[in-house]
Amino acid sequence: MDETLVHRILVDHIGELTARTGKMLTSVADADGGATSFGDKDLFYFDGVPGDLRVMPYSDGQQMTVKVIGTNEARTEVPDKISVGKCLLIHPRDHYVMGVLDVAALSSLRTAVGILLGRQASSPGEAPAPRLGIVGAGRVGFYTALAFQRAGLIDSCAAFDPGPGAVERMLELCRLESGPAVVPCSSLTELLARCDSVVLATDARRPVLGGADIDAYGLRFVASVGADADNLRELADDVPGAPVSFLVGSPLCFCLGDLKRWQQRDLLQPDGVTYLHQALAAPRGTAGPTCYISTGFPMLDHAAATFAYEIATAHGLGRPLAPTPRTAR
């Protein structure tokens, strides 16, 4: 299943994918699962090579997936993707590869679904619709805007990205997909003044937002999903000291980025946060702002990959793998 097919299936069924992912996370809470319930995340580094290689397996007892993904910081041969690799669907008993999916769209869209679930869990019931701002107008930003619109939360959003043409590309993608209207902002300050909910989906190496900003602009919800490597940062070190409730994707998210650094500096510990599966199982809402942080975890990939695979096989989409186990000699 190539990038275009994965994109088409997941975009056309984004509401179903969100519900499926939420149900999967809630089942973990019902089972009182620990960190191992979210899969594993092994990182590999090579001297002189920027970025890392990640292997992320997950099994729900019925289906198994393994995502092999690289952070493409060099961008020499594939200049427009920060994430490159494949997700394998593997037979849970015989261990042969049943399906192979490109992962740039899959990884970005499952991240967007996580952000949407985080926002819904932090503001249950009849909370006001967010005035959404996207910082970083790449794939994650685009899919997040689409997910929020498809969920009926927004008709438009603001976007800021210092990269040349980035916001314009996001605007065009939203137009092609009948997504929300995109209001370009010339600066981060302009975006913060317009919004009460902000999604950081950047490859920044210095903090983009601080606790003082959250307070000064009256932000209700902040999602940070871009600091998914040790050399990346999105949130300043005063955020843990601010009156903010922390919602984290899974315990695995403490292995990278801002959360890892804060834990090492004793600014925020895993027992000082609420995890997404807990918030979905018992949504209470928070009086102050919520900060959702997630660098991704295998359960999210598994939900998206198995869903896309089921749709594709039901409709005869994609190219068949050969030889299949039944015909191999």
pLDDT for position 36: 59
**Which H or E run includes 177?**
none
**CA angle centred on 67, ends 326 and 14, rounded to 5°:** 95
Q: Which pLDDT tens digit goes with each residue over 266-291?
A: 999 999 999 999 999 987 767 789 99
Mean pLDDT of 297-318: 96
pLDDT for position 125: 66
Tokens for 174?
């939203």
Output the CA–CA distances (angstroms, integers) from residue 212 to 187, 258, 260, 285, in the order listed. Answer: 18, 17, 21, 22
pLDDT for position 326: 64
Q: Which pLDDT tens digit goes with each residue over 163-185?
A: 999 999 999 999 999 999 999 99
73, 40 contact by CB (below 8 A): no
Mean pLDDT of 227-235: 92
Q: Which pLDDT tens digit goes with each residue over 89-129?
A: 999 888 999 999 999 999 999 999 999 999 999 987 666 78
203, 148 contact by CB (below 8 A): no
Q: Which of 276, 304, 302 is nearest to 35 (CA)?
A: 276
Residue 35 has pLDDT above 70, yes or no: no
Q: Which pLDDT tens digit goes with each residue over 237-259?
A: 999 999 999 999 999 999 999 99
What does pLDDT average to over the chain?
91
Residue 328 has pLDDT above 60, yes or no: no
pLDDT for position 127: 67
Output the CA–CA distances (angstroms, integers) from residue 241 to 180, 236, 237, in the order listed. Answer: 34, 10, 8
Which stretch, 49-53, 126-130, 142-146, 201-205, has highest mean pLDDT?
142-146
Query: Could you give the strand order of the β-sheet that contains 64-71, starting from the edge strand earlier in sequence?
Result: 42-44, 53-59, 64-71, 83-90, 97-102
Record the pTM.
Answer: 0.93
Half-sphere exposure at residue 85, Cβ-oriented, CA atoms within 13 angstroms: 20
Half-sphere exposure at residue 235, Cβ-oriented, CA atoms within 13 angstroms: 32
Residue 131 has pLDDT above 60, yes or no: yes
Rounded distance, CA 238 to CA 272, Å?
A: 15
Rounded distance, CA 229 to CA 215, Å?
A: 27
Residue 31 has pLDDT above 70, yes or no: no
Rounded distance, CA 166 to CA 190, Å?
A: 17
With H, G, I as helix, E, B as strand and everything else as coil, classify residue 280: helix
Q: Which pLDDT tens digit goes with each residue over 289-305?
A: 999 999 999 999 999 99
Q: What percent of the chain has pLDDT over 70?
A: 94
Residue 230 has pLDDT above 80, yes or no: yes
pLDDT for position 288: 87
Residue 323's contacts (CB-CB under 8 Å, 6 or more residues apart) are: none
